[in-house]
Amino acid sequence: MTAHILLNDVSESDNCMFYAKGSHHTHREYISKHDYLYSEEYVNDKFKFIPCIGESGTLVVFDSNGLHRLDLKLNTFRSHLHLNFVPGNDLIEYSQDILDCYSPKAKDELATLEKYQAKSFSHLYPS
């Protein structure tokens, strides 16, 4: 689940998120530009889009497995606090290529974590 807390007033004329109502009922593991189920035509035919708008302080909670996207509008602004809630059983697997990017100090710090904690960080590229 994901939660957005809007930090400024957001209307349909501003940058806002659209959510495809009911799209969360199908588990999605991979999306590519060549996947028919995600073409603009298919999505527009199958789902009603809900704009996620409201006054500053509005809480928007949604299943992030559902289809959602930002609708960008020129010269507008949207600010929100983004929170992800995960059960911990769908973490990205360990990646040696990513771990190789970390400094020796960061690798040592990761090694002190519990296995499940290290896995939750293993998909993040260092900044």
Secondary structure, 3-state, the chain: CEEEEECCCECCCCCEEEEECCHHHCCCCCCCCCCHHHCHHHHHHHCCEEEECECCCCEEEECCCCCEEEECCCCCCCCEEEEECCCCCCCCCCCHHHHCCCCHHHHHHHHCCCHHHHHHHCCCCCC
Is 99 in the same domain as 81?
no
Q: How far is 21 from 27, CA to CA, in rounded Å?
A: 14
Q: Could you give the number of structural domains in the chain?
A: 2
Is 60 in the same domain as 118?
no
Which domain, by its residues, includes 120? Answer: 89-127
pLDDT at 127: 47
Is 65 in the same domain as 95?
no
Is 14 in the same domain as 35?
yes
Is 18 in the same domain as 52?
yes
Whether the pLDDT of residue 123 is over 80: the answer is no
Mean pLDDT over all residues of the chain?
Answer: 79
pLDDT at 33: 57
Going across the sheet that includes 16-20, the strands are 49-52, 16-20, 68-71
Q: CB of 57 within 8 A of CB of 8? A: no
Is 15 in the same domain as 67?
yes
pLDDT band, residue 69 (cuts 50/70/90):
confident
Is 95 in the same domain as 48?
no
Is 22 in the same domain as 79?
yes
Is 44 in the same domain as 69?
yes
